[in-house]
């Protein structure tokens, strides 16, 4: 990917997984990964924090743990962890947090595929 004087984006980054599989397989992979990621995060990290600490502290500790567990330290992953932890704490169910993570992951993939000029913005967030 590079920058040209006339166009902001010269070429799109090609991921090796997309060369071998169709878009449907890629979206299924994203969906399953987001589902498993949130279940593990909420069940094994946030739920014990909620039982041990007060709700506000548990939400912020979960938000700090989420980017560390994904090995992607960024403001976007902190925000995903914050919202996912808050949804889990306030509702007491995993479903809203899982749906939010799923929607965020699929939105990111759709934006990368159809609006590649937004890649600089998305690299800041994700």
pLDDT tens digits for range 52-108: 999 999 999 999 999 898 888 888 889 989 999 999 999 989 999 999 988 888 888
**Residue 20, pLDDT score:** 57
Helix (H, G, I), strand (E, B) or coil at 98: helix
Cα atoms in the 13 Å half-sphere on the side-chain side of 19: 4
Q: What is the pLDDT of residue 111?
A: 78
Tell me the C-alpha distance between 84 and 58, whole Å: 12
What is the pLDDT of the chain when averaged over all its residues?
Answer: 80
pLDDT tens digits, 26-36? 788 888 888 89
The predicted structure's pLDDT at residue 86: 94
Confidence of residue 8 (pLDDT cuts 50, 70, 90): low
How confident is the model at residue 107, as a pLDDT?
81
**12, 20, 21, 90, 112 from 15: Cα distances, Å:** 9, 10, 11, 37, 11
DSSP string, 50-74: HHHS-HHHHHHHHHHHHHHHHT--S
Q: Is the pLDDT of residue 42 over 70?
A: yes
pLDDT of 16: 52
pLDDT of residue 105: 84
């Amino acid at each position: 990917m590079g920058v040209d004087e006339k166009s902001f984006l010269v070429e799109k980054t090609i991921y090796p997984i997309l060369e071998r599989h169709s878009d449907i397989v890629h979206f299924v992979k994203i969906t399953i990964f987001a589902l498993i990621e949130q279940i593990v995060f909420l069940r094994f990290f946030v739920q014990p924090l909620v039982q041990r600490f007060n709700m506000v502290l548990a939400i912020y500790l979960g938000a700090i743990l989420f980017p560390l567990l994904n090995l992607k330290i960024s403001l976007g992953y902190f925000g995903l962890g914050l919202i996912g932890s808050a949804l889990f704490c306030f509702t007491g169910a995993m479903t809203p947090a899982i749906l939010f993570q799923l929607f965020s992951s699929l939105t990111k993939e759709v934006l990368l595929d159809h609006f590649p000029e937004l890649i600089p913005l998305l690299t800041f967030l994700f």
